[in-house]
Amino acid sequence: MEPGDLVVHVENGIGRYLGLREISLNNTLQEVLAIEYADDAKLYVPVSQAHLLTRYVGVGKRSAPLHRLGGKRWAREKASAERAIEDMAAELLETQAARESQVGTAFAPDSPWQHEFEASFPFTETPDQDRAITDTKGDMEKPRPMDRLICGDAGYGKTEVALRAAFKAVLSARQVAVLVPTTVLAQQHFDTFRERMAPFPVTVAMLSRFCTPAEHTQVLAGLRDGSIDIVIGTHGLIQPGVVFRDLGFVIIDEEQRFGVRHKERFKQIRRMVDVLTLTATPIPRTLYLSLTGARDLSTIQTPPQERQAVETIVARDSDEVLRSAILRELNREGQVFFIHNRIMTIDRVRERLHRLVPEARIEIAHGRMPATALAEIMERFVRNECDILLSTTIVESGMDIPNANTILIDRADRFGLAELYQLRGRVGRASCQAYAYLLLPHQAGIDPIARKRIQAITQHSALGAGFRLALRDLEIRGAGNLLGSEQSGHIGAVGFGLYCQLLKRTIARQKGEELPPLAEIELRLDFIDLTPASAAADNSAAIPIDYIDDERLRVSLYRKIAECSLPAEVDRLRDEFSDRFGPRPPAIERLLLMARLRIAASRRGLTSLETREDRILATRAGQLALLEDGLLPRLKNKAPAARLRELIRAVEKL
C-alpha cells in the first residue's frame, strides 16, 4: 500500500490510504494507518490491526466510490459477496474433492540414485528452492494426482525443481512429458536434461520443429514402447496421435503461453497424472486459483548468490541511445539481445544497427525461419560467435546465456506485462550488472494501459519481483474475467484481496477445518488504567522512525506482525528485526509482546480485554470473565514490557 491507494477495511469498506500517522492516546504516542472515507471522514487503524486492511484491486477500469463510515452500503455489498462466495467455494471444493478422490501414482521415496543425482547440482540450493523441491517430492509420494505451481523469477532455479521431480518419476518406472511453448526453449531444456542425466540410464528425447521426420517417427515409437523415459516438446506433445506406454508425470513450463484449446487438454491431464507447472509470471486465473487454495503453490523468491537486479531503463528510441547501450555491452565483451517483433521490417532494423555499430556481428532469428537455420543461429549466439541477436519474442522463454547482459526492446508499449518481464529475464544471469532498455517511439502517443504496464515493469525491477508483478497484472487486466460475469460484480464491490480472504475462509468452514484464530477476531485491548496518567517515559508499542525510516517497509512489517497467529511466528519476527536492523529498541519489544497477548487472547476465544475499577475483565462469547484477583495492582508497579508478559501468562491460564 502507498499513500493515495484505495484500500478495503473488513468492517468499514473501501477508503483511501493516506499513510502512517502518529497520534497521542493516553499519554502514549501510537502509530496508526490513516484512511479517508466519504464526506472527508477519517479512520485511524491501529498498526496491530493492519491485517484488516487489503489493497483494493477491482475489475478492469472500474473506479470504486468511497464508503461512508457507519453506512449500510458496505454491509449489504459484503453480505451479497459472501452469499455468492458460498456457491463458488462449493464448486471449487467439488473440483478439488474430485482430484483428491482420484487414485494417482504414489512415487517411491528417494533412493540412493536420487541422492546422487541431486548431489551433482553444481550450485547451492536457495532456501525457497529447497522448500519447493521438498513440497514437490512430498506431493509426488502421495497417492493422489499432484497439481502444484512453482512461481519464481527467471534464473531462480525452477528448472532444477523440475529435473529432480522428473528423475524421481523415472526411478518409479513412469514416463515424463515436459511441455514448453517454443522450439527454442525445448532445445534448451533438452540439452539441460540430457547433460544432467547423462551418468544415469535415462533416455531423454525431444519432439519439436527441430526434429527431422525420421527423428519424429522414432520418438513416437519410443514413447509407445516405453524405451523413452523423458520427452521434451512443444504443443505437439498433446496431440491425439502421441501415445505413451506409461505416462506418470507432466511438467508444463510457462502455461500462460499456451492457447485455450491446449489448456482444456491440460485439465484432462491433471485428472490422470501428477502435474508440475513452472512460471515466472502466472496468468491471473492461475494465480487466483493458487491464492485461493484450489491449486498448491510454491514461490521461489530467494535470488541465487551474487545475482544483481536488472537495471530497467525507459528511453525514447534514438540512434544515440542504441549505439551507447550496445557499445557499453560490447566493450565489456558481452552480447546483446535486440527484440523487434515484426518479421516484415526486421531486415530494416538490421540495416540500421549495422549503420550504427558496423563493428558488431549481427544475426536474425524468428519463428518463420527453417528449423535447421534457426537452430544454427541460436547455437552461434550461445558460442559467442555473434554480438547482437536481432529477434522476435521467440527468445522470450528459456534462453539462458550468461554472457548476454543487455536487452533492447523495440516498441515496448506493444508488449504485455508478462512478455516484458520474461524478455527482461533473458539478461542478468551472471554476476555482472545487466540492462534492459524499453524503447518507446518519439512521435506516437502511448495507450494509458500500456503506460501502466511500463510503469509496473520499472517499479517492480527488484530481485524476486515476478509474483508481485503478476498481482499488478491482475489489477491492470481486471479480476472480473476469472470466474465469469456472475462473480465480477462481487469482486468489484469488495476488492480482489478481500474476495480471496472470504473465499479461503468459506472453503475452510465448508471443509470443517478450524479457522485461523486471528482470521475473524478484532481484539480490542483497553489499557487506560495500565498506563500512568503522568507517564513521562515513552511507553509506545511501535516501530520507531529512527530505527526504520522507510514508511513502506514499516507498513509491511506491521502487517507481518498483525498476521502472526502463533507465538513461534512472533519469535521469528523478533529474530528478523535483530538480524536486519540491529538491536531492538524497547518500543518494538512492547509491540511484539502486544502481538503475543493478542494471540493468547484469541486462542482462548476472547474478543476484548478491559480494565474496570481495580479489575481486568475479559469478554468471551458475549460473557464477562475475570482474570485472577490482584492482577491489576501488581501490574501497576511494573515496567510496560513486564506488565505485558504477566498479562500474557494470566490470559493463558484462562
- What are the DSSP calls for 466-526, one per residue? HHHHHHHHHHHH-STTSS-HHHHHHHHHH-HHHHHHHHHHHHHHHHTPPPPTTSS---EE-
633's grid cell: 495492582
3-state SS track over 198-212:
CCCCCCEEEECCCCC
More confident residue, 406 or 624: 406
**CA atoms of 389 and 339, how far apart (whole Å):** 8
**CA atoms of 441 and 97, how far apart (whole Å):** 52
**CA atoms of 154 and 141, how far apart (whole Å):** 28
What 8-state DSSP symbol labels residue 229? S
**11-15, 187-191, 529-533: range with lowest mean pLDDT:** 529-533
Tell whether the model's pLDDT for residue 488 goes beyond 50: no
Q: Is the dihedral of CA 495, 500, 501, 506 positive or negative?
A: positive
Mean pLDDT, rounded, for 500-507: 72
Query: ∠ CA(120), CA(126), CA(130), 5° rounding?
Result: 75
* Residue 160 banded pLDDT, cuts 50, 70, 90: very high
Q: Where are the domains of the chain?
A: 311-462, 517-652
Query: Roughly how many angstroms between the first and final C-alpha of the chain, as a whole number?
Result: 38
Mean pLDDT, rounded, for 438-464: 77
* Residue 287 banded pLDDT, cuts 50, 70, 90: low
More confident residue, 437 or 561: 437
Alpha carbon separation from 214 to 32, 57, 207, 367 (Å, rounded): 70, 52, 11, 22
Mean pLDDT, rounded, for 556-561: 85
Tell whether the model's pLDDT for residue 198 goes beyond 90: yes
Which of 89-98, 213-222, 271-280 has the highest mean predicted lDDT (pLDDT)? 213-222
Whole-number average pLDDT of the chain:
81
Alpha carbon separation from 375 to 64, 394, 488, 636 (Å, rounded): 51, 12, 45, 78
**CA atoms of 160 and 168, how far apart (whole Å):** 12
Q: Residue 650: which residues within 8 A CB-CB, separation 6 or more?
A: 616, 627, 628, 631
pLDDT for position 494: 75
pLDDT for position 235: 82
Tell whether the model's pLDDT for residue 289 goes beyond 70: no
* Residue 105 banded pLDDT, cuts 50, 70, 90: confident
Tell whether the model's pLDDT for residue 266 goes beyond 90: no
* Residue 440 banded pLDDT, cuts 50, 70, 90: very high
Tell whether the model's pLDDT for residue 642 goes beyond 50: yes
Spell out a b/e string for 82-92, using b for 16 or more CB atoms within 10 Å of the CB, else e. Answer: bebbeebbeeb
Tell whether the model's pLDDT for residue 629 goes beyond 80: no
**Which residue's entry shows cell 459484503?**
78
Q: 311-462 architecture in CATH?
A: 3-Layer(aba) Sandwich (3.40)
**CA atoms of 647 and 194, how far apart (whole Å):** 62
Collapsed DSSP state (helix, strand, coil) of residue 472: helix
- C-alpha Rg value of the chain to the nearest Å: 28
Query: ∠ CA(59), CA(61), CA(66), 5° rounding?
Result: 75
CATH number given to 517-652:
3.90.1150.50
How many other CB atoms are found less than 10 A from the CB of residue 641?
Answer: 16
* Residue 482 banded pLDDT, cuts 50, 70, 90: very low
The answer to whether 255 and 266 have CB atoms below 8 angstroms apart is yes
Alpha carbon separation from 536 to 22, 28, 192, 461 (Å, rounded): 17, 9, 66, 45
**CA atoms of 193 and 178, how far apart (whole Å):** 10
**CA atoms of 602 and 31, how far apart (whole Å):** 23
pLDDT for position 352: 95
Tell whether the model's pLDDT for residue 437 goes beyond 50: yes
pLDDT for position 519: 40
The answer to whether 328 and 434 have CB atoms below 8 angstroms apart is no
The answer to whether 394 and 366 have CB atoms below 8 angstroms apart is yes
What 8-state DSSP symbol labels residue 428? -
Collapsed DSSP state (helix, strand, coil) of residue 159: helix
**Residue 9, strand partner residues:** 13, 53
**CA atoms of 129 and 175, how far apart (whole Å):** 24
* Residue 285 banded pLDDT, cuts 50, 70, 90: low
pLDDT for position 371: 79
Tell whether the model's pLDDT for residue 284 goes beyond 60: no
**DSSP run (H or E) holding 565:** none
Tell whether the model's pLDDT for residue 420 goes beyond 90: no
3-state SS track over 588-601:
HHHHHHHHHHHHHH
pLDDT for position 487: 47
Mean pLDDT, rounded, for 188-204: 94
Tell whether the model's pLDDT for residue 587 goes beyond 80: yes
Tell whether the model's pLDDT for residue 318 goes beyond 80: yes
* Residue 149 banded pLDDT, cuts 50, 70, 90: confident
**CA atoms of 1 and 7, how far apart (whole Å):** 8
* Residue 89 banded pLDDT, cuts 50, 70, 90: low
pLDDT tens-digit map of 31-60: 889 999 999 999 998 877 777 888 887 655
Closest C-alpha to 343, from 392, 286, 291: 392
Tell whether the model's pLDDT for residue 543 goes beyond 70: yes
pLDDT for position 480: 42
Q: Which amino acid is at 536?
A: A
**CA atoms of 555 and 562, how far apart (whole Å):** 10
Could you tell me how many residues make up the chain? 654
**Which residue's entry shows cell 489499557?**
527
**42-51, 222-231, 405-414: range with lowest mean pLDDT:** 42-51
Between strands 335-339 and 388-391, the pairing is parallel
* Residue 625 banded pLDDT, cuts 50, 70, 90: confident
Collapsed DSSP state (helix, strand, coil) of residue 35: strand
